[in-house]
Structure 1
């Protein structure tokens, strides 16, 4: 149980083809935030989803004062959705997870228990509710990050992270691909941030499909990784 509430908290999630999950996730996020702080906001980043995701986000924002909908004018991808979420987050702590509800937002409490002692608390999947192809890609990605940057985490691109605002204020994202999530951790390490890993549960995707398997996205990720590696700071 969290003994001391967070001073303030932003929760955001990128959303694309998430019309079936976004409302339930938003309502659960409100309840999770209330357990941790009286000063919170929920941000839905609609990445120009062609389904009803944006419409539902607007309705939730109209019904709940703490909810804000951010809309992209075109589909920009997960990296830009993350950047938009962090840019629109105004509270002292910022938490993000995916809009497809494969993680249980109630487990945010487990991360918040360590917020006083760490600048960045990142989840790692205790179980992987995905096929062997996705698992292989993720593990290969972790290995490549280690080879290029000399840092290793169990699940660096796990979409379940809690970060202090001041860490985000210390740098500007350079990537806009699926590498953006890992870039946060790498840059936090360069800033001497205190980082903690916490195991969280991963649930099967009930609706839609992932976009991470496309070759073009993989090439963008690799390009962003190499650019950051030789940036030098």
Structure 2
């Protein structure tokens, strides 16, 4: 096993496509690097558990099954805590990222604490693109973070940086990685972005950004950003 790299992937209700995604990441990254592969299932109800259990009999993965749904942020945090290597690669499990783009991210590991895989030509609905642009605007105004894709679910993080920030991520329910990046930036972490390809979902899927929920999500995100700004400002005054 390569002690330098852990690959972490949370999964929820991805029965239709998860075997393809796991196999692709295994063939491109795990097989070539010897990294540990941590898959954390989050209370799926569509047969994902059974698919993953079958995969675990064929491939050397560390599989954690959830009895009940925790939600993306808590599931991601619990999964990331299981990583034991110097570097941790995190990827969402919906098949929108290409495993071979890992190598571009990996090539920057010595240059930064956090290497973000920034989505090129985002394959998302118009309402999600609008929401993302609005979110990034407020992040720039409130925190001075000038990154193009702070909430990307495909990134490499030094484990020391990860653990120093992870427990405090709790303000932005709908942007776990956005808050992580803001907190990392506030702690003077070096953050770089690498362009990665992004494709539309082919199968299944959990969608938290339905059009009807947009007003609720926008208001909750804005309040979360304000609370986070107040918290970080107070910390700097100590």
1:151 aligned partner:
145
Give the gaps of 5 or more residues in structure 2: none
CA distance in 1, matches of 2:76, 2:31: 24
SS at match of 1:231: helix
**Aligned partners of 1:115 and 1:121 also within 8 Å:** yes
CA distance in 1, matches of 2:152, 2:169: 19
SS at match of 2:129: helix
**Aligned partners of 1:28 and 1:106 also within 8 Å:** no
- The answer as to 2:23 corresponding to 1:27 is yes
Q: Compute the TM-score of the two structures, normalised by the length of structure 1.
A: 0.88
1:211 aligned partner:
208
**Aligned partners of 1:101 and 1:205 also within 8 Å:** yes
Question: Please, which of 163, 184, 191 is the counterpart of residue 169 of structure 1?
Answer: 163
1:226 aligned partner:
226
* RMSD over aligned Cα atoms: 2.0
Residues matched between the structures, number: 226
Residues 27-66 of structure 1: matches in 2 within 5 Å?
27-34=23-30, 37-38=33-34, 40-65=35-60
Q: Alpha-carbon deviation of 1:144?
A: 1.7
Runs of 4+ in 1 over 4 A off after TM superposition: 215-220
1:105 aligned partner:
99
Q: Compute the TM-score of the two structures, normalised by the length of structure 2.
A: 0.86
> C-alpha deviations, 1:71-118, integer Å up to 9, x for none?
233222211122122112121111112111011011011100010121
CA distance in 2, matches of 1:161, 1:96: 5
Task: Flag the structure with higher helix content.
Answer: 2
SS at match of 2:67: coil
CA distance in 2, matches of 1:97, 1:41: 14
CA distance in 2, matches of 1:219, 1:230: 17
CA distance in 1, matches of 2:134, 2:13: 27
SS at match of 1:137: helix
- The answer as to 2:66 corresponding to 1:69 is no
Instruction: Call closer, same or farther: CA 1:132–1:89 in 2, change over 3 Å.
Output: same
Give the gaps of 5 or more residues in structure 1: 1-5
**More deviation, 102-111/43-52:** 43-52
